[in-house]
Amino acid sequence: MSLDALPPLRESLEQHGLLARKSFGQHFLLDLNITRKIARLAGPLDGRTVIEVGPGPGGLTRALLEAGARVVAVEKDPRFLPLLEELGEASGGALTLIQADALKVDEAQLAGGEALVVANLPYNVGTPLLIKWLTGPWRPTSMSLMFQKEVADRIAAPVDSNAYGRLGVISQAICRCQVVMDLPARAFTPPPKVASAVVRLDPLDPAPEKALVTALEKVTAAAFGQRRKMLRSSLKQLGGGTLCERAGIDPDARAETIDVAGFLRLARAL
Ligand code: SAM
Which domains are assigned to the chain? Answer: 3-203 (3.40.50.150), 210-269 (1.10.8.100)
What spacing in Å lies between the alpha carbon of 38 and ligand 1's midpoint?
Answer: 16
**At 241, which amino acid appears?**
G
Kindly list the protein residues whose Cβ atom lies closer than 6 A to any atom of ligand 1. Answer: 24-29, 53-57, 59-60, 74-77, 101-103, 120, 122, 125
Q: What is the pLDDT of residue 102?
A: 97
In this structure, which residue's CA is closest to atom 18 in ligand 1? 54
- Of all protein residues, the one whose alpha carbon is nearest to atom 5 of ligand 1 is 28
pLDDT for the residue 114: 95
Alpha helices in the chain (DSSP H): 9-15, 32-41, 59-66, 81-90, 107-111, 126-135, 149-155, 166-174, 210-225, 231-234, 240-247, 260-269
| Distance, CA of 217 to CA of 223 (rounded, Å) | 10
Distance CA 12, CA 145 (A): 24
Ligand 1: nearest atom to the Cα of 102: 24
Of all protein residues, the one whose alpha carbon is nearest to atom 3 of ligand 1 is 28
- C-alpha 56 – ligand 1 centre gap (Å): 6
Ligand 1 atom index nearest CA of 146: 9
Identify which of 26, 29, 198 to mutate to test ligand 1's pocket (most ligand atoms within 8 A of the CB): 26
Nearest C-alpha to atom 14 of ligand 1 is from which residue?
56
Work out the burial of residue 198: count CB atoms within 10 Å of its CB; fewer than 13 is exposed, 13-18 middle, 19 or more buried.
buried
The structure's pTM equals 0.95
Cβ–Cβ under 8 Å, residues 159 and 249: no
Q: What is the mean pLDDT of each run of 10 residues along the chain (270 residues)?
A: 87 87 90 97 97 97 98 97 95 97 97 96 94 94 98 98 97 98 96 96 95 97 94 96 96 97 97
Q: What's the pLDDT score for residue 1?
A: 72
Q: Which atom of ligand 1 sits closest to the CA of residue 56? A: 14
Q: How far is the CA of 256 from the centre of ligand 1 (A)?
A: 33
Measure 121 CA to ligand 1 centroid, in angstroms: 6
Distance CA 169, CA 171 (A): 6
